[in-house]
Structure formats: C-alpha cells, structure tokens
Amino acid sequence: MFTLIIREIQDNWVFFIAAAILACAFSFLIGWQIYFINGMQSLPITILLMVNAVCGILIFCGLGAAQMYWDKMKRISALLTTLPVTRNQIFTARIAAGLLAVAIGFLPTVVTITAVSNLIGPSSIPGVGLVNGPTSEVWILIFLLCFASYCVGLQTGWTSNRIIPTLGSLLLSMILTCVIWIKGFELDAYLILIPFIACCLFRAWRTFSTAAL
C-alpha cells in the first residue's frame, strides 16, 4: 500500500509541490498580516483566506482529475493489476494520496493562523466586539470542501476527453464552494458536504472498479 501511495505522489508531484508552495506562501502572508498589521479584524485576511481556499480547491480538483485521467490514458492500473495488487488497493492508495495533498495544502495555514491568533489574542473591533480567529468548525468545513473538490476531480477525470476533466471539474468545484457561501459554517453545510463526498467516492470507486482496463 505504501509503495502505491508513493507511486501516486511521484506521478502527480506537480500538484503536491503546488499545494506545499501555496500553503507556505499563504501561511506566511496571513501570519504576517495578523501579527504585524491589524490582528484578526482586517479585510485583507478574509480576502487572503478566500484566495487561498480558491487556489487550494483548484489544485485539489486538478489532482483528482489528473489521477483518473492519466490512469485511463496511460493504462497505469492495467499494468499494476498484472502485479499482486487489487483495484481496491490502487483506489485506496489514490484516495490516501489525495488526502495527503489536501493536508499538505491545508494544515500549515491552520497551524499558522491558530498559533498567531493565540499569540496576539482576539481583536476588538469598535462597535462590533471581539473577533477571534477562525474556529474549529470553520477549519473542518473548509477541509471538507477541499476534499469534496478533490472528489469532484475524481468524478470528472475518468474520461478520454481532455476538456471535461479540466474545465468540468473546475466549474463543478466552483459551484460547490457556494455551499459555504449559502449555508455558512453551520450544521447544514456538513449535512450536504459529507454525503456529497461519500457519493462521489462511491461513484469514483464503482467507475474505477467496473471499468475495462
């Protein structure tokens, strides 16, 4: 299994590097903004977080689409199944690599913002009150959204057409971000995203496990 995960990372190293660069760049920018400029209250932090989330979503859905697309085009799984490896193992390794990419692109920002906001404490906005840094329910929901984008990529990637995995996954991921816009960080958003991820994973697994390699 570990070898399969390593192989997935090697095949899609561009996305992992992009996720790492994104995480480092935005962690630095947001941390610097919070610590040295205006605390949690400044508008640039919100904008930076949103740009970070959008870039992250693009990378993750791109990764999902690339994994499935190149597997189909290069017949990677056809080769792997000649070895003592099952399709389920290949699929599990693929998802594990995807989760790792999401974690790489996501966790440094969480750690940085949490650490810096703990360091400076909540910010007081005149006439509004205290504003703390993003709380756990915000982070969990953003993580779910990023992973859901990756799953959308898995859905759209299994095709021999180049346009559908590229533009289709981007479009669907952008539509999916509306969940947070509409529902906010409340329970409703979890009730939509968690079944959505489960359905996407099931469909991706079924497509992959029943397809002719």
Partner 1 sequence: MNARTGKFINAVAAGFIVLVLYLLVLFSGRYYCFEALMEPMPQEWKKVTICPSGLLPGEGSPNQTKDILTYADAGISNDPNTKLSAVQFELNDFFIRSEAIGISRRYMSYLPRRQLSTKDGFYCFDYGDNYYLLFNKHNGLFVYSYPLYPIGPNSFSKVPPKTLGLSTKTIVKSKIYFAGPNGVSETASASLGRFTEPITDKMFFKEKLGLYEVKQRRFYLIDFDERKVTAGLELASGDKREPVAMGEGDYFTGPGWMPPAAKDVNDEWKTKYTFLSDTIEPNERWIGGSFDYSKRHITVLDKSGQIYEVNTVDWSIRDVGFLPVPRSLFSYGQQNAFAAPRDLLNYQITPVYYTLIRTKGNRSPEVKDVKYFGMCTSSLSREGTALAVAVFDPNGKLVCRGDTKGDGGISTASAVYSRSPMARTTLFLLENLQPVVFEIASYLCGDRIEASAGHRALFILPNSFVGMLGRYDGTKFDREVFLPLLMGPSLILSVWLAFRVRKDATIIGLSGTAKKWWTVGTIAFGLSAYITYRLTRPKETLVTCQNCGNMRRPDMETCHRCGSKWEIPELTPPNWRICD
Residue numbers at the binding site for partner 1 (CB under 8 A): 122, 124-125, 127-131, 135, 155, 172, 175-176, 178-186, 188-189, 192, 195-196, 198-200, 202-203, 206, 210
Of 113, 117, 183, 109, the residue nearest 143 (C-alpha): 109
**What's the closest the beta carbon of residue 101 comes to partner 1, in angstroms?**
21
Closer to partner 1 at the Cβ: 30 or 193? 193
Cβ proximity to partner 1: between 14 and 211 the closer is 211
Nearer of residues 17 and 51 to partner 1, judged by Cβ: 51
Please say which residue, 1 or 198, places its beta carbon nearer to partner 1.
Answer: 198
According to DSSP, residue 161 is labeled: -
C-beta of 17 vs 130, nearer to partner 1: 130
Q: How deeply is 138 buried, as exposed, middle or buried, from its count of CB atoms within 10 A (0-12, 13-18, 19+)?
A: middle
Beta carbon of residue 170, minimum distance to partner 1 (angstroms, whole number): 13
Residue 130 in 3-state DSSP?
strand
Q: How far is the CB of 136 from partner 1 (least distance, A)?
A: 8
The least CB distance from residue 10 to partner 1, in Å, is 30
Please report how close the Cβ of residue 208 comes to partner 1 at its closest, in angstroms.
12
